[in-house]
Structure 1
């Protein structure tokens, strides 16, 4: 879904009507503008958590020092059921030492492999917590799976902002556009900031391929179409990934690539790959994959915006594990 944006300068309002190509065109224009004007390029710092193979990002505008934190990680010891903040505190230290002002805490989707540290970071640093609007669908599916009860709201109200496809936002003077890229989950979003795209789990490095599509609400055909959408962006668009697992033969973790590199070399979706071939590959491959180690605590917490379930009458929060239900 894409939009034509009509602006009324006097009243400062925006009205959107559907146009199937507009968000991608807007994103491409923004990227090209940033590539020709360095002042429109974000400064990006990646923070790798080897326990979950997750990369969190701090993205900031060098002029205003406003920043966004993308896909943060809360440390979780599953055996002990204990949380800690070492990974998040690395981000806090970076933000404070560089005198940055956090305006956004962004989740590309409700992660199944790590718990978000967004509430902790929001308490320390401020900013608005944001995710794609389709989180409502994910909350509905997993709210039923975890028997979360009527007290658990399935309306996205745990987040400060629900982004629609093609919606614009800003980090200081940096331009941003949210693109809906479902397939891995119904709620996946890519966030284009300047000339950089933060694509979540949709793509991995070219030598590793693409995300799985077998979680509830996932769809391999939809994933292929979403990836195709991203790969229509300008060739030199910088793509920043949420995970890396070191493909066989590679000794280092890496998490930055480009549209051109993906189109020329992605082992699952390079140019010339048909949709049917991708769906057959992805479906077959997904059947061989084990569930992520932290899927039960992660999804249960992340659909709540990274907050633990409400404490019970003894003051303790509990993570439910549905038995023989998945």
Structure 2
């Protein structure tokens, strides 16, 4: 019997759910070579104390090491506004400047931190907003992907899909019969992501969802978050294309673009900003690096007409 090709080989997938930010991180590995990627990692942050910790990321590292995986890439679907990425921390923990120690840690591989090519326009926008020096964001991602670019993880083939709408830089990663769609879609009972961040666009998100819906019915869509109501169910990392088309509360098959856009825009106009918005954006456009001065900026909202 011949060995499976990269086109039909299916990955090993480990979902990890962070209940504090309701975020799914995925560890995706090639079963034949044990090469792996991490998708949308989480760095713990307490806004009350401005303290960063690595408990969640360390659990991921323990899982990687327990399976003897060799992490070749740390992937981001987009610049997240609701959690800090652990990408830089993971890279430093998985790779060392000491060759002998590096061989022990990750098979001599320094994983690349990667994202879609439109990251630059997002970095420029938020660097200006928060006064981030160019040298702290320019070129901090090791690799930026072209639309529909393909790369290998061991014997697996991964294809990058541009899925804008939630943010303009948003991408998904297709591996075998699975696509990791970030914040493009959520569990059918949750629906879709907001589109009111700078560069977000409900029209574009509708089109991106149609791209997902064009996949074979049995393909699995792995989502970036889940928000089940209390005790209703456990967080679900994926649903099938068929389930999404049939059940998605915002975008099930037959929903017109005008219906979705009108509903999404009305809904977004009443949403509060994410709790970690300002901290997350400033760290994530730096690919998980911290500001050199150790300071993050949070804008003040002053009562109308009131001045100091």
SS in 1 for 2:64: helix
Q: Deviations over 1:240-283 (max 9, x none)?
A: 11100005883321121111111111010111000011000100
CA distance in 1: counterparts of 2:76 and 2:159, whole angstroms: 14
Q: CA deviation at 1:147?
A: 1.9
Partner residue in 1 for 2:163: 181
CA distance in 2: counterparts of 1:273 and 1:230, whole angstroms: 14
Partner residue in 2 for 1:231: 213
Alignment of 1:1-326 (within 5 A): 33-34=7-8, 40-125=9-94, 126-154=110-138, 157-247=139-229, 250-311=232-293, 317-324=294-301
Any conservation in 2 of the 1:143–1:152 contact (CA below 8 Å)?
no
CA distance in 1: counterparts of 2:42 and 2:230, whole angstroms: 26
CA distance in 2: counterparts of 1:211 and 1:282, whole angstroms: 9
Q: RMSD in angstroms over aligned alpha carbons?
A: 1.6
Equivalent pairs, count: 283
Q: TM-score, normalised by structure 1?
A: 0.84
Q: Deviations over 1:116-137 (max 9, x none)?
A: 0011111112311000011111
Q: TM-score, normalised by structure 2?
A: 0.89
CA distance in 2: counterparts of 1:227 and 1:266, whole angstroms: 11
CA distance in 2: counterparts of 1:179 and 1:304, whole angstroms: 22
Moved over 4 A (4+): none
SS in 2 for 1:72: coil
SS in 2 for 1:210: coil
CA distance in 1: counterparts of 2:17 and 2:190, whole angstroms: 17
Q: Deviations over 1:66-93 (max 9, x none)?
A: 0000100000011111111100011100
CA distance in 1: counterparts of 2:17 and 2:126, whole angstroms: 28
1:167 and 1:115, CA in 2 relative to 1: closer, same or farther beyond 3 A?
A: same
Q: CA deviation at 1:151?
A: 3.8
CA distance in 2: counterparts of 1:62 and 1:129, whole angstroms: 22
Any conservation in 1 of the 2:137–2:285 contact (CA below 8 Å)?
no
1:124 and 1:151, CA in 2 relative to 1: closer, same or farther beyond 3 A?
A: closer
CA distance in 1: counterparts of 2:111 and 2:169, whole angstroms: 21
SS in 2 for 1:129: strand
CA distance in 2: counterparts of 1:159 and 1:100, whole angstroms: 22
CA distance in 2: counterparts of 1:87 and 1:189, whole angstroms: 24
SS in 2 for 1:244: coil
Partner residue in 1 for 2:102: none
In structure 1, runs of 5+ residues without a counterpart are 1-29, 35-39, 312-316
